Amino acid sequence: PFSRRDARCALARSLDLAQIPRILGGGEVPAAGWVPPALAPGRGRVALSFDVAAAKDLARRGGLAAEHPVELHYYAKDIHTPVMEWAQGQWKKNLGLDVRLVREEGKIYWAHLASSPPALFLSGTTAWFAHPYSFLSELASDSAANWGRYTSRAYDEATAQAHRAATAPRLAHAVADAEKELLERDCAIVPLYFRNTLMLTAFQLKESLAVSE
């Protein structure tokens, strides 16, 4: 059923992302879009908002039904299990949809996505450089990280414009166009949350010389 846009949008609209910080408790921020807020300042909500009535209508039109259970695949990491169980519960409560969780070890999971990705699965990414293009390019048609095989000429063009943008207003416009295509028109992904990433960026070693007599 996830070949149907309405079915995908139903999944997006039936998740109350405001609950995620309470579930994880690590400073996670519910996602209002695909690009993190630090890289898209001033942007409002782009992802579809939580609306159970609208989600039920979309599910009916998209062919989601209690008698047709689905599988949600995710990779083995402690933080993922409570989030996947939460999503499972939300879809049961708000759509009456039975979802079976499938947990796989990391190497097996990524090989699975590369060869034959399931219809519904968890993924995530971290920006390699501080620019919206680092996120947008992940889901371009020719990206090796585009596990869901998402293809949209409009999204690809907006992503290319973001890469070429020479001014902040042009960049903001291109990002808005790309996210609107990805999250509103196609509901290709369901952004869940942004996490804090701590890393060592630079360090200095100082040599000490011990002199003994």
Give the chain's residues under pLDDT 50: 212-213
C-alpha closest to that of 66 among 90, 91, 103, 89: 91
> What confidence score (pLDDT) does residue 195 get?
86
Tell me the C-alpha distance between 195 and 86, whole Å.
17
> What confidence score (pLDDT) does residue 202 get?
67
Give the strand pairing for 29-30 and 99-104: unpaired
CA quadruple 49, 53, 57, 59: dihedral, nearest 10 = 70
